[in-house]
Amino acid sequence: MMKKIYPILITLPLLYLAACWGPNDPDIECEVVPVAGDDNNVIGKWKLVEWQQVVMINGGWKIENYSCDNIVYHFQEDGILSVSSDVTNEFGGEFHDGSMYELAEESFDNYYSYQLKIGTLGYWFSLVDGIMKLDMRPVDGPLLTLIRIE
């Protein structure tokens, strides 16, 4: 009986991990070198280099690479985000332009993280070495990768 259960016990977690697996590192077509800055501060100009989102129809990933385009998110000191873009479409356009933003610490069951609230949306936030990830995947939203340029 146990010999029949072992394959199931091994297969189910592997299937679960495969279903939740997604691309992590952006495939940057045009090199964008991050500018040094404080990893605890979003104020400045950031270039959108990639937008990833799960496609609900087939569960695959839609990945848009914007490293060769000029989509700039400017987080201003007054708490307003301005977005300029040379691309107009559902992903890279001037989404969030003019919105208020706030970096807030969130806690859940003694786990602390940061959330970047832009307008009415909240993105899970990570910032390491000038590369910012804004993540709404837990609620079927996108994962944005931005690089500090100023």
pLDDT (0 to 100) of residue 17? 38
Q: Kindly state whether residue 12 falls inside one of the protein's structural domains.
A: no
Within a domain: 27: no
Is residue 100 included in any domain, yes or no?
A: yes
Confidence at residue 137, expressed as pLDDT on a 0 to 100 scale: 74
Q: What's the structural domain count of the chain? A: 1
Q: Residue 145 — pLDDT band, cuts 50, 70, 90?
A: very high
Give the residue-averaged pLDDT of 74-91: 85
- Cα–Cα distances (Å) from 49 to 11, 112, 137, in that order, read 36, 27, 17
Is residue 17 one of the residues assigned to a domain?
A: no
Asked if residue 10 belongs to a domain, the reply is no
Q: Answer with the residue of higher pLDDT: 120 or 139.
A: 120
pTM for the predicted model, two decimal places? 0.72
Nearest to 135 by CA among 120, 119, 122, 124: 124
Pick 75 or 25 by higher pLDDT: 75
The reported pLDDT for the residue numbered 21 is: 42
List of residues 6+ apart from 54 with CB closer than 8 A:
22, 60, 61, 62, 137, 140
Q: Which domain holds residue 140?
A: 34-148
- Within-domain flag for 67: yes
Q: Is residue 44 assigned to a domain?
A: yes
